Amino acid sequence: MKGPFRIEKVVNNNVVIATKPDLNEVIVIGKGIGFGRKRGQEIHSGSIDKLFVLANQDEQEQYKLLLNDVDESLIVTMEKVVRMIQAELKEPLHQRIHLAMTDHIQFAIRRIEQGIDIPNPFLTETELMFPEEFHLARKAVHLLNEQLDVELPEAEIGFVALHIYSASSNQPIAEMNEHPQLISDLVFMIERNAHIELNRRSVEYMRLVSFLCELIDRFRKKEMIQTSDKLAHLLKEEFELCYTITIELIEVLNTRFSTSYKVEQVPDMVFYLKKLIKYK
């Protein structure tokens, strides 16, 4: 980060868009860094708190537009939030978190101001699937509420957790949003077919979600054991209800991940259901 940067555009008192020969266009953030500055002037590294490059040109342009529409206090606070998250995570965060999470929080604050409540029906599933990210998201929401004098609801913790996981795993946020809903759908199918109702805060439910997370990951990575006709016959004969439920679950997962697995390739699902619903 040594050497001066040339200002291309002053966004506000704390943010400028600048260039440097070896970095091309960058977003530069620093307290008062844009105050009284004009295009063409130089900024030295000592006055820079944070700079980042969004390699994707579309994301770069989206962030520039966002900067023009976002209050300065939100930009500064979001940088504090991102630094806090990065300091506690082992994995580096993808730069898109600046765009994605700032945009999300701005929208959430506007909803609050308009009296619109958008619930998060998958809060429990998100917490169980991404416990570390959920813990950091709770701290992030607390910091945002404190610094911006707003009251982001608990539902936002789940959404922020997904943004954190997306940035640390470099997976699209749209995909992250689908996973808690997929878990919820699978659990509902189990409850409906087995005529049971699980307490969403019970240890039993937490273990089921953990198991389903591992199962989804295996489908996503296409990691399955070889099929066995003898095993398939045994599972169907001995555990008919659990076998039937597993068929339905697998059909959903095959559709979701474009796979074509059979029950006998995931026998642990059948055995797990037998234990869960105490079927004999």
Q: What is the pLDDT of residues 43-55, one digit of tens each?
A: 877 777 777 776 6
Instruction: Tell me if 256 sits within 8 A of 179, measured CB to CB.
Output: no
Q: Does residue 124 register a pLDDT over 80? A: yes
pLDDT band at 1 (very low <50, low <70, confident <90, very high): low
pLDDT band at 105 (very low <50, low <70, confident <90, very high): very high
Give the E-state strand segments of 121-263 in sequence order. Answer: none
Section 168-195 average pLDDT: 88
Q: Is the pLDDT of residue 244 over 90?
A: yes
The rounded percent of the chain whose pLDDT value lies above 70 is 94
Looking up tokens 């966004």 gives 11
3 state SS of 30: coil
Q: pLDDT at position 279, please?
A: 41
- At residue 169, the pLDDT reads 87
**What's the mean pLDDT in 188-211?**
92
CA distance 84 to 90: 12
Q: What sign does the CA torsion over 96, 100, 106, 112 have? A: negative
Rg, Å, the chain Cα set? 24
The whole-number pLDDT of residue 225 equals 67
* pTM (predicted TM-score): 0.78
Strands across the sheet containing 42-43: 42-43, 5-12, 15-20, 24-29, 50-52
Could you give the percent of the chain with pLDDT greater than 90? 41
